[in-house]
Amino acid sequence: RDPAKGDRLRRTFGVTVCDNLDDLLRDSPAFVVVSVGWAAAPELTTELHARGVPVLCETPPAPGRADLDALWDRLGPHARVQVAEQYVFQ
């Protein structure tokens, strides 16, 4: 989402950086880890779900309760979306 940051990641870590979902999904990944800011996470999660891609989100997957409720309403109870939670290990 940020070309300068993408270039920096490419150079620093030698990883492939995709600028859009079509490029990201070209190789049919088994799932996608959504690790973007709160404002972008619900939309990206919804788009991946709509394309049939399982999602692992960081905690929390939306900025607030109303946003979480709206995300749930869009995805439904059978969406292949998992929220990573580490508190059980603390």
> Which pLDDT belongs to residue 55?
97
Report pLDDT digits (tens) over 32-87.
Answer: 999 888 889 999 999 999 999 999 998 888 988 999 999 999 999 999 999 887 76
Q: What mean pLDDT do residues 19-44 have?
A: 91
State how far the Cα of 49 lies from the Cα of 75, in Å rounded to an integer: 7
Q: How far apart are alpha carbons 6 and 1 in whole angstroms?
A: 8
What is the pTM assigned to this prediction? 0.82
Q: Is the previous residue joined to 3 through a cis bond, with omega within 30 degrees of 0?
A: no
d(CA 79, CA 76): 6
Q: What is the pLDDT of residue 88?
A: 65
